[in-house]
Structure 1
Amino acid sequence: MIKVLIADSHPIVRMGIKNVLNSASGFEVIGDVATTTELFTKLETLDPEVIILEMDIPEINGIATLRKLKQEYPELRVLIYSGQSEDVYALSTIRAGAFGYLSKTADLDYIITAVRKVSEGNMFITNELAQRLAFDEGTQKPRRFFRKLSTREVEVLKLLASGKRNKEVALGLNLNEKTVSTYKARLMKKLNVDNLVDLLQQAKALELY
């Protein structure tokens, strides 16, 4: 039996995932939580093999939660289940320690396949995503530039795109303002822009809004 813990802020999503996994053989959903506080509290008493983690789970964002899980529970395997753009966040979350990334728009059957694959210690992304990530490097589409960004740079860009000022970004990511300014300069260079307005336009093209 593959022991699974579901961490998602939406009750109907948690129920749906449970129903899908319970309808298949070889899975046991041992718990579900709505916040990161609940997640780490559950992990004090439960021992799941796979966590299905919502990218935008409340309190701590998915990437920060991944880092904390990797530090405190290095044997855990995490599958990100997200409504965010696959192209932008899949590689970023895998770099941060996820074993896979599944969009909430994907067919339900993918959940079973993804959890099985992740439980075996293998990476999972959909075939469609793999094909999109492999497009011609010669194009100038914004996603080509995204692949140059680090996980932390994506986090900074997302917060800037949501209207946060440097000080707010620094507080949200536990950085100092000078470091945020450095990240902003790197982002402008990597995304081939020279002002904040164009940087935010790139963020919009990357579906970070």
Structure 2
Amino acid sequence: MITLCLADNSPVVHLGIQTYFKNSATIKVTDVVSNFDDLLAKIETGSINCVVLDAELSGLNSILKIKKIMQEHSKLHVIFYSNVSDTLYAPPAIKCGVKAYVSKNITLAELENTIIRVNNGEYVFSSEVRKAIEILNKTKKSDRLFKKLSTREIEVLRYFSDGKKNKEVAKILGLDEKTISTYKLRLLQKLSVTNLLDLINKAKQLEII
């Protein structure tokens, strides 16, 4: 039996997935959580072997937290699912060691199949993710600027695109404001722009955010 924890902000999603798997002989949804701290607590109990994780889960302000989970719980299967641009989350999520990355647009039957395949040792990435990565890999080298950006730089860039100021980003990520200023300078240099507006516009043009 696959013991599953669903980590998602939406009670509607909780209900839908719990209802779907209610009578499953293969997958048991033992826990549902709506924030990252509660997810960590469930993982520490050792009672679950698979997590379906919303990329926008409350409290998950850095994808590096997923990397830490994977390092500390190597036998845990993590399935990332999201409506956010695949070019933003897929590459760093895969690098962190998630076993699957799928779109929230898939059916529950497809999600079930993904969970089972991951439990059997497979890595599963949706057609949307594969297509996004393929497109990025085919772009001109000069345009593949996302590969020059670290996971942290992408995170900082994302918050800038949401209208956050240096101080706000620093507070969210638990970093010094000067550190955020350094990241901003690096981003400007790496994307060859001179101001924040052009930085965000170029990032959107390249589908980094």
Superposed pair shares fold, TM > 0.5: yes
Q: CA deviation at 1:178?
A: 2.8
- Is it true that 1:200 corresponds to 2:200 in the alignment? yes
In 1, Cα distance between the equivalents of 2:189 and 2:118? 35
The one-letter amino acid paired with 1:191 is: L
The one-letter amino acid paired with 1:125 is: F
The one-letter amino acid paired with 2:87 is: D
- Equivalent residue, structure 2, for 1:130: 130
- Structure 1 gaps, min length 5: none
The one-letter amino acid paired with 1:26 is: T
Q: TM-score, normalised by structure 2?
A: 0.84
- Is it true that 1:157 corresponds to 2:157 in the alignment? yes
Q: Count residues in correspondence.
A: 206
Q: TM-score, normalised by structure 1?
A: 0.84
The 5 A counterparts of 1:26-65 are 26-61=26-61, 63-65=63-65
Check conservation: 1:100, 1:114, Cα contact below 8 A. Answer: yes
Query: Which contiguous aligned blocks of 4+ residues in structure 1 show a shift greater than 4 angstroms?
Result: 22-25
Q: CA deviation at 1:72?
A: 4.1
- Structure 2 gaps, min length 5: none
- 1:20-79 per-residue CA deviation (whole Å, 9 max, x = no partner) reads 444655211111111122222333435211101111111233625414423543321211
Check conservation: 2:80, 2:98, Cα contact below 8 A. Answer: yes
The Cα RMSD (Å) is: 2.5
The 5 A counterparts of 1:9-158 are 9-22=9-22, 25-61=25-61, 63-135=63-135, 136-138=138-140, 144-158=144-158
- 1:125-184 per-residue CA deviation (whole Å, 9 max, x = no partner) reads 11232123112222876xx33243221111111111111222221221122223222222
Check conservation: 1:51, 1:79, Cα contact below 8 A. Answer: yes
Check conservation: 1:30, 1:48, Cα contact below 8 A. Answer: yes
